[in-house]
Amino acid sequence: MDQTFSGEIIEWRGPAPYYFVPVPDEDADALRTVAAAASYGWGMLPIRARIGTTEWKTSLFPKDDGYLLPLKDAVRKPAGLDAGDTVEVELSFDAMPRQVRQPIQRQPVVRPKGSREPVTPEQLKIVPANEASVEELQAVFATGDPARCSCQRFRMLPKESWASEGPEELAARLREQTACGNPKAPSTTGLIAYLDGEPVGWCAVAPRADHARLLRDYRVPWLGRDEDKTDPTVWSLTCFVTRAGYRRRGISRALAGAAVDFARERGAQAIEGYPDFVDGGSVGTPATFTEAGFTEACRPSPRRAVMRIDF
C-alpha cells in the first residue's frame, strides 16, 4: 500500500521538542482499514517514508483517530525543514497477516525457558527511559495489565479510567512522559533494564507531584500524614513491570536501587514507594524497597505501607 500526501510540519510540545507531519484524515481512514493486520503494538504502524530523495523507516503514531509521521532530525535538518513548512510525503506500507507478524514481536531469547536464575545488578544495564527506543519500551509492556495501563494508574485525572481512556491513549501518554527515543531530552520519568541487550524491566519513578491521582485524598499514601502533597522535591517510585519470562529473578530490586540514584541525581530530597504486603503486584513488595535502603514511614492500611528515603 502506497500513499502520497502534503502536510504541515508541527512541533510536539512534550517533554522535549519533536516534529511530526499529521496524516490527512482521508489518508488516515485508508490506513485504519488495514491497521489491525499490521500494527505491532499500541496502534503504531511500521512504514517507509520518503521526503524528496531521503527515505527512512519509522512508525506512524496514533493520535486523535488519526496518525502522526515522526520527522527525525536526521531527515529534517539537512533539508532545512522546520515547524510550519509544508512537505510532500510518500508512504510505503506493507500490510502483513497477523500470523506472519507474530514472531516479530519481541520474545525472550537470551535464556533457557523456565530459568529462575537470579540476576545481579551488575548483569543489568539500567538507563533512563528516554534512552530506550519505542520498540524496547513496548516490548516490556507487551501483554497483560501493563499493556492496558501503561503505568498511568496514579497519573489519571478525575473521572478517567483504563476503560474511558483506552490502551492506545494511555500508551501515548507514557511515550510523551518518558520522551522515549529522545536521549537529549530532560529525563524525569522511569527507567528501563536490559539483560544481555534485551529490554526486560521498567520502573516508574518521577516527582510525586506529577501523579494527579496519587495526590487526591486516598488512604494510600496520605492517612496519618501531614505533608505538602505538591512538594516537588519528593519523588515517588510507583510501579514495576518485569517482562514475561524474566520474573522472580531480582530485576525489580535492581530497578529500585537504580531509582534511588536516579531521583537523587535530579535534585530529589526524598523518595518514597507504596508496597503491598500481600502480593506486591506492580507496586512492589516491602523487600523490594528494603534492599534499596527504604524504611517504613507509615502504614495507612493493613496491607499497604509508605516506605521512604530522605536524602
Tell me, what CATH number does 176's domain have? 3.40.630.30
What is the rounded CA–CA span in Å between residue 264 and residue 235? Answer: 9
Task: Give the Cβ contact number of residue 201 at 10 Å.
Answer: 25
Does 111 reside within a domain?
no
Does 95 reside within a domain?
yes
pLDDT (0 to 100) of residue 32: 67
Does 115 reside within a domain?
no
Does 45 reside within a domain?
yes
CB 271 within 8 A of CB 259: yes
**Do residue 138 and residue 89 come from a single domain?**
no
**Do residue 292 and residue 225 come from a single domain?**
yes
Does 257 reside within a domain?
yes
**Do residue 170 and residue 274 come from a single domain?**
yes
103, 138, 157: which is the final residue of a domain?
103
What is the rounded CA–CA span in Å between residue 92 and residue 50? Answer: 8
Does 113 reside within a domain?
no
pTM of the model: 0.64
**Do residue 188 and residue 87 come from a single domain?**
no
Which residues make Cβ contacts (< 8 Å) with residue 136, sequence separation at least 6?
192, 199
pLDDT (0 to 100) of residue 33: 64
**Do residue 66 and residue 15 come from a single domain?**
yes
**Do residue 146 and residue 175 come from a single domain?**
yes
What does the DSSP 8-state code read for residue 266? T
Three cell numbers, residue 100: 506472519
Q: pLDDT by residue for the chain (311 residues), tens digit each?
A: 678 888 898 886 544 457 888 888 877 777 766 655 554 445 667 788 889 888 888 778 777 777 888 887 778 888 888 888 899 999 887 544 443 334 434 444 444 344 678 888 899 999 999 999 998 999 999 888 898 899 999 998 888 888 888 888 999 999 999 998 888 888 889 999 999 999 999 999 999 999 999 888 678 899 888 889 999 999 999 999 999 889 889 999 999 999 999 999 999 999 999 999 988 889 999 999 999 999 999 999 888 999 999 99
**Do residue 93 and residue 125 come from a single domain?**
no
What is the rounded CA–CA span in Å between residue 49 and residue 33? Answer: 19
**Do residue 185 and residue 235 come from a single domain?**
yes
| Count of domains for the chain | 2
**Do residue 154 and residue 272 come from a single domain?**
yes
Residue type at position 23: V
What is the rounded CA–CA span in Å between residue 311 and residue 112? Answer: 40
CB 2 within 8 A of CB 90: yes
Three cell numbers, residue 232: 516537588
> For residue 92, what are the β-bridge partners?
2, 48
pLDDT (0 to 100) of residue 115: 61
Domain that holds residue 240: 121-310
Residue type at position 228: D
Q: List, as one string, the DSSP characters of 219-253.
A: HHHHTT----TT-TTEEEEEEEEE-TTS-SSSHHH
Q: List, as one string, the DSSP characters of 185-228.
A: S---S-EEEEETTEEEEEEEEEEGGG-HHHHSS-HHHHTT----
**Do residue 55 and residue 174 come from a single domain?**
no
**Do residue 178 and residue 234 come from a single domain?**
yes
> For residue 46, what are the β-bridge partners?
59
37, 69, 103: which is the final residue of a domain?
103
CATH code where residue 47 lies: 2.40.30.100
Task: Give the Cβ contact number of residue 112 at 10 Å.
Answer: 7
**Do residue 162 and residue 228 come from a single domain?**
yes
103, 130, 150: which is the final residue of a domain?
103
Does 156 reside within a domain?
yes
> For residue 84, what are the β-bridge partners?
none
Cα angle, residue 231 at apex, residues 225 and 233 outer, rounded to 5°: 115
Does 71 reside within a domain?
yes
